[in-house]
Homo-oligomer: A and B are copies of this chain.
Amino acid sequence: METGIEFIPSGGVTSPAGFSAGATGAGIKNNGEAILDLGILRSDVSCDAAAVFTTNKVKAAPVILNRQRLERGRATAVIMNSGCANACNGERGLADAAEMAELAARYIGIAPDDVLVASTGVIGPCLPMERIRAAIPDITLSAEGGHEVARAIMTTDTVPKETAVKSSGGFVIGGMAKGSGMIHPDMATMLCFLTTDAQVDRAFLGAALKSAVDVTFNMISVDGDTSTNDMVLLMANGHAGSETITTGSAGAEAFQQALDEVCRYLARAIAADAEGATKRIEVTVGSAASSADARLAARTIVNSPLVKSAVHGSDPNWGRVLAAAGRSGAALEQDRLDLSIGGIQVVKNGCPVAFDEREVVKALDGRDVTIVLDLNAGNAIATAWGCDLSEEYVTINSEYTT
């Protein structure tokens, strides 16, 4: 089967059939101003659902709640807010998360257990429940509401991140994400909601999601080791009416490909929208002994503050790339390393080659900077995405709560 993919213009989480969404400004952010900060995403029928959660030992209340509710692998709706992470609030936090779900369930007329919850924002303060109770009736769900909820989950994001693809397999996958980089993206909350009208076997749905996250969102973070609130949720409502997609079935490949594509789009959008970032960095590590080695080296390089600072200043300081690879733990021999920046080879067999420094500076001056490191140790390859480190990042992050 041909596995073609077509991006849907202005696509988002409500592009697949049967999904609707809406948002309102509840005053959770900015003490009462009418900025979108509370939203609901729902399917008109119950969905098979799978999720990947933060591995942080300090978990926000919504994460704890959702893990329990997703044990049976089903969900119909999600209520989400920005402006408050509802983390580190003990029993009160859990009660507030449960009440949020219940309020949403009552409003749209389904069972509370079928509603999941997502929160992002400052850790510590409790949710302003009165404002949430008062604001829910202001939410109008519609098939065009995907753009509203994509805005309602933004914190320091400068742009909403959403997309959708139509697969030749006869289904649509939509997605939205929030996350506005960090020096290490693993420390900022990353939320992603994926929707599809495909009919997907539950076990395959979970496996496909994990596989997609591994090569996309986990390549803009470190070891999947994340913030207190991170979550990637995938809901499949079966409206496309095809045969159930399962491991090895005719549609499996097309589904995985479409899911990877949506996740890759959103992951790159997060990397590009990193706080204070002016450039996107793509690091590919090739000819590694194993996929794990390639991933480790690529992520270590893209997360190196020294590499990020050098890219910011268009400084052709390639030694920092080699040093980051060297400390990554990936199997490598220093005298076999080949390095290119912006397509210009600067290191061969671990030693610098003659190159035109102005050309490398020019490559580093662009909005997209590519770094390719070949370990010459095998056949594995991996790509990681990140951003430069600017003075503005520090300014943003030293003034976040105050």
Contact = CB atoms under 8 A, between A and B. Distances in A.
Interface of A: 55-59, 85, 87-90, 92, 122-125, 182-184, 186-188, 225-228, 304-306, 309-310, 312-320, 322-327, 329, 332-335, 337, 347, 349-352, 361, 389-395, 397-402
B352 A124 contact: yes
| Interface residues of A, dominant DSSP | loop
A113 to B, nearest CB: 24
A399 B390 CA distance: 12
Contact of A398 (B186, B313, B351): B313
A305 B183 contact: yes
A397 B305 contact: yes
Contact of A319 (B88, B226, B394): B88
A350 B58 CA distance: 9
How many copies of this chain does the complex contain? 2
A90 B392 CA distance: 38
Contacts of A187: 304-306, 320, 323-324, 327
B313 A58 contact: no
A216 B346 CA distance: 37
A90 B335 CA distance: 7
B332 A57 contact: yes
B58 A88 contact: no
A329 B352 CA distance: 38
Contact of A326 (B56, B122, B314): B56
Contact of A322 (B58, B186, B304, B306): B58
Nearest to A225: B327
Given A90-B349, A327-B186, A391-B395, A85 B319 contact: yes
Nearest to A333: B57
Contacts of A304: 187
Contact of A88 (B59, B122, B322, B397): B322
Nearest to A186: B327
A318 B392 CA distance: 21
A85 to B, nearest CB: 7
A167 B56 CA distance: 45
